Amino acid sequence: MSKKIASARINTESSELLKELNNSLPFDRELYREDIRGSRAHARMLMKQGIISPEDFQLIDEGLQKVLEEIESGVFGLDGDDEDIHMAVERRLTELVGDAGKRLHTARSRNDQVAVDFRMYVLRHNLSIAELLKDLIASFLQVAKEHSDTLLPGMTHLQHAQPTNFGYHMMAYASMFKRDYERFVDSAERNNLSPLGCAALAGTPHPVDRRQTAEELGFREPTLNCLDTVSDRDFALEILFNIATLMMHISRLSEELILWSTSEFGFVKLSDKHATGSSIMPQKKNPDIPELLRGKTGRAYGNLMSLLTVMKGLPLAYNKDTQEDKEGVFDSVRTAELSLRVLREMIDEMTVNVEAMEAACMKGHLTATDLADWLVKEKGLPFRDAYHIVGNVVNRAEELGKDLSELSAEELAQVDERIGEAEGLLDNRLSMNARRSEGGTATERTLEQIEKMEKWLSSVSS
Ligand code: ARG
């Protein structure tokens, strides 16, 4: 029986059940690129520091490139009995290059190895998600530009509240996704520190140069304290939180798309590409895609809660519990990237029903606040008195089966003689355009928001 590569003291073959519980290769194989990259940087540093010979480095470096090729071409399937990706790569390397391969693990532990691999994976995906967010924001800007004059009933409590425009609504989402973008970039920046060279927990007596490997791997500098570094998973928690928040935003938008595409609203029509049929009701087109995006938010929250819970009781430094950090992150990253791609396609290809949005503005007396504001500004009434008068006007409009904006001067004056002249001022578009305080819905303010966001987008895209 061959001795286990990572054990000097255990002589019996592991039980099958232990392997099933313990082996992480079935999922951490996802890290093979990072593992090989980290090992090549480590080997080069060992050579430069005189810890291994140039000949051994040459063999290791070429051997690792060969292992990478074998993995990518499927020759080395990463489906064997190895404990994890680190052991799998080292085993194959040693098969290929012999004794030199056994020198690679000098001045290194799997504790700093997994920390560097996982950090590189997380940093890479912070940035790929940020790129997808920029594309999505560009799509919102496009729709917002086309619809900065398209009236939309603005709601609170899902009840008609005040007239807004659809472009303004799109800019609200663009603003959320901009903050998401900033969170991913910020997290990548903060965590851009190299764990390599920390070894098991306390550093190493070998004369390693952590700055060299940090630089080769694209990190800003090495981490400060090795004990912290091998047990820290904040960087993973941050991406999980950022994805959970991103999915929450995607989910809120999905909810609106689902509502808007019902026959009750009819504000948008999703492309047939993004709708599915019912197996029994032949007339149906279901918004499965936004429903799935909304549903997938659950797993993103779960993955965050799960890792927070794994970490909460761990004494310093490395504990095997930490191996549970990966699957949730891989899942959240896959979910976020796919969701962003699908969402962008859906936004680009949806049809906006301008007539339905504008017609909906004729329900719900959206300009009631405007009438109260007018009484305050033009007639000097205290706001609370104006508020009560407008309440009576709305009751009258309901009796007449009309919207407030449709009442004639006479009908208004019947309720209160001071408001006859307000006729014509209660138009929805006029009302929307009157809200021109900074950040408000007026078309000119919406266009200003679009312009600022475009400037920002081009500043982060250059
Ligand atoms: N597969 C392990 C993980 O993902 C690698 C680190 C193992 N280190 C150890 N000392 N057992 O966490």
* pLDDT tens sequence across 18-62: 999 999 999 999 999 999 999 999 999 999 999 999 999 999 999
- DSSP H helices, 217-287, are 226-231, 234-260
Tell me if 88 sits within 8 A of 78, measured CB to CB.
yes
Distance of CA 230 to the CA centre of its chain: 26
Q: Whose CA is nearest to atom 7 of ligand 1?
A: 110
| Cα–ligand 1 centroid distance for 113 (angstroms) | 9
Mean pLDDT of all residues in 420-440: 93
Confidence at residue 2, expressed as pLDDT on a 0 to 100 scale = 46
Per-residue model confidence (pLDDT) at position 1: 39
Q: What is the mean pLDDT of residues 220-245?
A: 98
Interval between CA 111 and ligand 1 midpoint (Å):
6
User: CA–CA distance from 349 to each of 24, 150, 302, 414 (Å)?
Assistant: 41, 18, 31, 49
pLDDT > 90: percent of the chain: 91
Establish whether 157 is a catalytic residue.
yes
Averaged pLDDT score across all residues of the chain: 95
Of 420 and 281, the one with more pLDDT: 420
pLDDT of residue 423: 85
Nearest atom in ligand 1 to the alpha carbon of residue 6 is 11
Give yes or no for residue 128 having a pLDDT over 50: yes
Core vs surface per residue 63-99: b (16+ CB within 10 A) or e: bbebbbeebeeeebebeeebbbbbbbbbbbbbebbee
| 459 alpha carbon – ligand 1 mean position (Å) | 41
Q: Is the dihedral of CA 239, 188, 34, 137 positive or negative?
A: positive
Per-residue pLDDT band for 3 (boundaries 50, 70, 90) equals low
Question: pLDDT-based confidence at 282, cuts 50/70/90?
Answer: confident
CA distance 321 to 323: 5
Q: Model confidence over 283-322: pLDDT tens digits?
A: 778 899 999 999 999 999 999 999 999 999 999 999 999 9
pLDDT digits (tens, 9 = 90+) for 385-429: 999 999 999 999 999 999 999 999 999 999 999 898 888 889 999
Amino acid in the structure at residue 402: K
Q: How far apart are CA 93 and CA 20, in angstroms?
A: 24
Alpha helices per DSSP H over 262-401: 288-311, 326-349, 354-360, 368-379, 383-400
Nearest CA to ligand 1 atom 12: 323
Query: How much distance in Å is there from the Cα of 86 to the middle of ligand 1?
Result: 9
The neighbouring-strand residues paired with 286 are 276
Q: Which residue among 114, 117, 201, 311 has the greatest number of ligand 1 atoms within 8 angstroms of its CB, and so is best to mutate?
A: 114
Q: What is the CA radius of gyration of the chain?
A: 30
Sign, Cα dihedral of 400, 404, 408, 409: positive
Residues whose CB falls within 8 Å of the CB of residue 48, separated by 6 or more in sequence, listed in order:
209, 212
| Catalytic residue from among 7, 53, 271, 278 | 278
pLDDT at 294: 98
Are the beta carbons of 214 and 221 closer than 8 angstroms? yes
Centre of ligand 1 from the C-alpha of residue 84, in Å: 8
Which whole number is the average pLDDT over 319-331? 98
pLDDT in tens, 65-79: 999 999 999 999 999
* Predicted pLDDT of residue 142: 98
Which of 244-258, 321-335, 409-423 is predicted with the least confidence, judged by mean pLDDT?
Answer: 409-423
pLDDT at position 11 is 76
Our mutation pick for probing the ligand 1 site, out of 25, 29, 110, counting the most ligand atoms within 8 A of Cβ, is 110
The single residue of 2, 157, 437, 458 carrying the catalytic annotation is: 157
d(Cα 252, Cα 453) in Å, to the nearest integer? 21
Who lines ligand 1 at CB under 6 A?
24, 28, 84, 110-111, 114, 318, 320, 322-323
* CB-based burial, 14-52: b 16+ in 10 Å, e otherwise: beeeeeeeebbbeebbbbbebbbbbbbbbbbbbbeeebb
